[in-house]
Amino acid sequence: MNSSMTRRAFLASSGMALAGVFLGRLLTPAQQTKPIRLSMMPAQDVVPVAFAFEQGIFTKHGVNIELVCGGNALERNTAFLSGQLDALAIDLTSAVLLLGRQAQAAIVGTVFEPTPDPRTGNTVVRTVAMLTHKFSGYRSVEDVVKSGPKRQITLVQPSDMEYLTDTLLQSKGVKARDVDQYYTGVEDFDKIQLIAQMLGAGTVSVQVAVLPEPHATLTEVVAEANKIEILTLSDYKGIATPPSVLLFSRQLLQERGESVRKFFQALRESVATLNGSSRDFIIDTLIRVGVNVCFPELRGQELKFPEGWRDRLRVPYFPQPRALRPEEFDALVNWALGKRYIREKIAFAAATDFRFL
């Protein structure tokens, strides 16, 4: 097995747990009309949605879904606010910010959250990790804090990852007003691939990075294959991770409520099927989505991955969708207010609608 990876192979490997790296292509059941156009963020959180599409579960339940894979945050938000997208599967921070921009939308349920696996009793669930390479000189979060604010942590900003890192740094004594001075922020999840590559190559420009799964694990595996040691500074244990959510337009809820109910029926079946499937089946299914849909130019080619990559890849237990809790929402709203990402308090009742769960 070839231990080195080209950029294309790295991108393709990331797609196995995300239904690709979301390059802006559309996945559409052609036989139906009036689809629900849903945009997904690039993280393991959207696996149940991608899996439901690939396995025909949405079609089985009579739901026509058009999955929009790609586009940066500005393009996604503009499309949603203008009615070109009906729904988003996103982190809670992004949902709060859109609602703060008066989006005519509601959070209709969760799509993913770190959950202990009842099948194995495993309670260690890594969804986000702060990583560094051996050349940085950092060996702990305390080392980063002691070195002073130098823009040394690269992360998507704003995002749930920023919320978690703010909480982490403040627990280490950094004042709330100073946390941003530790960050080099990028605006889009699309940049995560580039951040991961630069960290994995041991570059000076990315010394510490906050990455979601599966990008964090893939970065470790690829770097190891290329003889670059990657160190975990934090996996955010003990910090409550906000669930990722589904944000649907009010127009969709009013005009196609039955389709929304069927969407959740299909999603629940997808989650149950995922949790009852072997990890190899899940990985192979999502590789197929990544290659056939997002990387058709790779069809028929032998994808070269580092030795042991499949065993290292984390396949989490997927929880069923549920209603977001008021305290989860309010925590993000208060944080966003403090960061001046939004101007006014958002009422939980006005921002949510769980009738369709």
How would you class 169 by CB atoms within 10 Å of its CB: exposed for 0-12, middle for 13-18, buried for 19 or more?
A: buried
pLDDT band at 33 (very low <50, low <70, confident <90, very high): low
The residue-averaged pLDDT of 148-163 equals 94
- Is the residue at 122 inside a domain? no
145, containing H or E segment: helix 141-146
Strands of the chain, DSSP E: 25-27, 36-40, 65-69, 87-90, 105-112, 128-133, 153-156, 183-186, 208-212, 230-234, 244-249
Q: Which of 234, 258, 285 is the last residue of a domain?
A: 234
36-40, strands of its sheet edge to edge: 25-27, 65-69, 36-40, 87-90, 244-249, 105-112
pLDDT given for residue 3 in this prediction: 41
* Residue 296 pLDDT: 54
Query: 284 and 148 in one domain?
Result: no
Query: 312 and 229 in one domain?
Result: no
Q: Is the pLDDT of residue 309 over 70?
A: yes
What's the pLDDT score for residue 28?
47
Question: Rounded mean pLDDT of 193-202?
Answer: 87
Mean pLDDT, the chain, rounded, equals: 86
Per-residue model confidence (pLDDT) at position 20: 37
Place 346 in a pLDDT band, splitting at 50, 70 and 90: very high
Based on the domain organization, do 135 and 191 belong to the same domain? yes
Is the per-residue pLDDT at 66 higher than 70?
Answer: yes
pLDDT of residue 62: 96
Least confident range from 14-23, 224-233, 255-264: namely: 14-23
Q: Domain boundary residue among 234, 254, 277?
A: 234
User: Are 102 and 11 in a shared domain?
Assistant: yes
In a domain, 269, yes or no: yes
* Same domain for 278 and 178: no
Whether residue 217 has pLDDT greater than 60: yes
Whether residue 254 sits in one domain with residue 212: no
Q: Do 270 and 303 fall within a single domain?
A: yes
* Domain containing residue 230: 128-234
Write out pLDDT tens, residues 221-249: 888 888 999 999 999 999 999 999 999 99
Residues 81 and 18 in one domain: yes
Residue 11 in any domain: the answer is yes
Give the pLDDT mean for 275-293: 77
For residue 19, pLDDT over 60 is answered with no
Q: Verify that 325 and 251 share a domain, yes or no.
A: yes
Q: Is the pLDDT of residue 22 over 60?
A: no
Is there a domain that residue 357 lies in? no
pLDDT at 109: 98
- pLDDT, tens digit, for every residue of 140-154? 999 999 999 999 999
Whether 2 shows a pLDDT value over 80: the answer reads no
pLDDT at 224: 86
Q: Are residues 164 and 223 in the same domain?
A: yes
* pLDDT digit string, tens, across residues 123-135: 878 899 999 999 9
pLDDT at 112: 95
Please report the pLDDT score of residue 145 as a whole number. 97
**Looking at the domain assignment, is residue 356 inside a domain?**
no
- Residue 337 located in a structural domain: yes
CATH of the domain at 149: 3.40.190.10
Q: What's the whole-number mean pLDDT along residues 323-351?
A: 97
Tokens 């308090």 sit on residue: 345
In a domain? residue 264: yes
Query: Please, which contacts does 1-9 make with residues 24 or more away whose CB atoms are closer than 8 Å?
Result: 1/304, 1/305, 1/306, 1/307, 2/304, 3/225, 3/226, 3/306, 3/307, 4/225, 4/226, 5/222, 5/225, 5/226, 5/304, 5/305, 5/306, 6/304, 7/197, 8/295, 8/298, 9/303, 9/304, 9/305
In the chain, the number of structural domains is 2
Of the residues 234, 255, 273, which one is the last residue of a structural domain?
Answer: 234
User: Same structural domain for residues 99 and 140?
Assistant: no
Shared domain for 268 and 316, answered yes or no, is yes
CA distance 243 to 283: 23
For residue 40, what pLDDT is reported? 84
Would you say residue 36 has pLDDT above 80?
yes
Work out the average pLDDT over 270-295.
Answer: 79
Whether 1 maps to a domain, the answer reads no
